[in-house]
Amino acid sequence: MSGHENFLKLSHLYKYFGDVKAVNDISIDIEQGELISFIGPSGCGKTTLLRIVGGFHKQDQGSITLDDQAIDQLPPEQRPTGMVFQNYALFPHMTVYKNVEYGLKIEKVDKAEREKRIKEALAQVQLEGYEERKPSELSGGQQQRVAIARCLVLKPKVLLLDEPLSNLDANLRMIMREEIRRLKEELNLTIIFVTHDQEEALSISDRVIVLKDGTVQQLDRPDNIYNEPSNEFVANFVGHANILSGNLAEVDGDTYFKTGKFSFKVEQPSNTTNQDVKAVIRPERIKLDPEGQLEGKIARIVYNGNFTRYFVDIQGEEIMVDDFNAHGLGSYQRNDQIKLSFPDQPHYILEEDVQ
């Protein structure tokens, strides 16, 4: 990555709609060349925050600087940001070429240069040969690419994408994810990517921001968000998690994590000495293991193709366990008695972090 930290700096942004606190004191520093995702449940303020950056909403308070220039008072047409709208917002009465040319004409770029740059932009999104088509004559994925090319051709400093893949089918979504990553690497683009699909966010981003009710819950690398969620909300929102309340206790020199119903052996954690904690254990980290310490009964089975999820009843507490289907169908039945082994380094959430 080319460095320049604090390339895009959002400081203490607020935006209220009446009583709704859509954005409530958000500060984020984004590096140049970074792809950062906003995720969070519907209505948490992702779009609002993105639109504030693009200039389509005026923040109530706070400031935005881009490349050390304050941009928060500029109208959208003067901001060096490029927005790809969820519905693409291609001009239906113009051809692909004209759509991409639109912004260049406004910048009064001369004709030869325009042609060159449009050609280049269309090549970047692999749409050569589609110049004369109307948007209505393109597939969803192609429209998406045109929308991106239309922004890229203006060489924006930041690309803003609001749920750009949500209108595409599952396969195309995968392809476009790769495309966006590739463009980002090739052109060293700085991208803000809004999505409500946590898997998409994890796979595409350099860093992920989890939002809730207009506030930042966690801002971190995807693997850290998944493995070390900062609170229960993040743990539940990103992936599935068993969250066990309990405490750590010493027994004969070993450390145990004890819930009210059962306990299992762990290593002495480094990040907490707190007695009352919550342990976050992802379902795939629990093993169906004949040698396991804990015994339970399979209450329900949900088959998912590449893995099978077992809901296992341990002393009245239901635990999710994912078993990777490396050998075809899962091998257990409902009501089977099985043994489980728990990871000895669960992630702990400190009680005072829990909101």
Partner 1 sequence: MSNEASRQSRTAKLASDLRQFWSEPWFAILTMILAGAILLFIVTPVFAVLYKSFGMDASGFTLDYYREFFSRTYYFDSMMNSLGAAVISTIIVVILSVSISLYVTRSTSFVSRFYRGAALLPLVAPPFIFSLSLIILFGRNGIVTSVINSTFDVEFSIYGFWGVVIAQVLGYFPIGYMLVESTMRNMNPSLEHASSDLGASQWKTIRKVTLPLSQTGITKAGLLVFVMALADFSNPLIIGGGEPFLASEAYLLVVGQQNLEQAAVLGVFLIVPSLIIFIFQTYILDDSGLETISGESGASNAPLSRRVKTVVMTINTLFVSFIILMFVMVVLGAFVKIIGINNTFTLEHFQNRNGWDSLYTSVFVSFVAAILAATIGMLQGYLFARKPIPGKKALEFLTLFGLAVPGTVMGIGYVLIFNGSPFFLTGTVLLIVLNMTFRKIGVGLEASISKMHQIDTSMEEASSDLGSGPYRTFGKVVVPLLSPAFIAGFIYTFMTAMVSISSVIFLIAPGTNLAAVYILNLAEQARVGMASAMSFVLIVIVLSCMGLLKYIEKKTGVSI
Ligand X SMILES: Nc1ncnc2c1ncn2[C@@H]1O[C@H](COP(=O)(O)OP(=O)(O)OP(=O)(O)O)[C@@H](O)[C@H]1O
Residues that bind ligand X (CB under 6 A): 17, 20, 22, 40, 42-48, 196
CB closer to ligand X, 45 vs 246: 45
CB closer to ligand X, 213 vs 351: 213
Residues near partner 1 (CB under 8 A) are 54-56, 75-79, 81-83, 85-87, 89-93, 102-103, 106-107, 150-151, 154
Query: Could you say which of ligand X, partner 1, Mg ion, none residue 20 binds, taking C-beta under 5 to 8 angstroms by partner kind?
Result: ligand X
| Minimum distance, C-beta of residue 150 to partner 1, in the bound complex (Å) | 7
CB closer to ligand X, 225 vs 298: 225
| Minimum distance, C-beta of residue 155 to ligand X, in the bound complex (Å) | 27
CB closer to Mg ion, 166 vs 247: 166
Residue 94's identity, in one-letter code, is M
| Minimum distance, C-beta of residue 13 to partner 1, in the bound complex (Å) | 19
CB closer to partner 1, 99 vs 217: 99
Q: Looking only at residues 2 through 61 of this chain, which bind Mg ion when binding is defined by CB under 5 A?
A: 47
| Minimum distance, C-beta of residue 167 to partner 1, in the bound complex (Å) | 13
Query: Could you say which of Mg ion, ligand X, partner 1, none residue 290 binds, taking C-beta under 5 to 8 angstroms by partner kind?
Result: none
CB closer to partner 1, 8 vs 266: 8
| Minimum distance, C-beta of residue 173 to ligand X, in the bound complex (Å) | 16
| Minimum distance, C-beta of residue 54 to Mg ion, in the bound complex (Å) | 13
Mapping DSSP onto H, E and C, the string for the chain reads: CCCCCCCEEEEEEEEEECCEEEEEEEEEEECCCCEEEEECCCCCCHHHHHHHHHCCCCCCEEEEEECCEECCCCCHHHCCEEEECCCCCCCCCCCHHHHHHHHHHHCCCCHHHHHHHHHHHHHHCCCCCCCCCCHHHCCHHHHHHHHHHHHHCCCCCEEEEECCCCCCCHHHHHHHHHHHHHHHHHHCCCEEEECCCHHHHHHHCCEEEEEECCEEEEEECHHHHHHCCCCHHHHHHCCCCEEEEEEEEEECCEEEEECCCCEEEECCCCCCCCCEEEEEECHHHCEECCCCCEEEEEEEEEECCCEEEEEEEECCEEEEEEEECCCCCCCCCCCCEEEEECCCCCEEEEHHHCC
| Minimum distance, C-beta of residue 221 to Mg ion, in the bound complex (Å) | 24
Query: Could you say which of Mg ion, ligand X, partner 1, none residue 17 binds, taking C-beta under 5 to 8 angstroms by partner kind?
Result: ligand X
Distance between CA 218 and CA 211 in Å, rounded? 7
CB closer to Mg ion, 101 vs 200: 200
Per CB under 5 A, residues contacting Mg ion are: 47
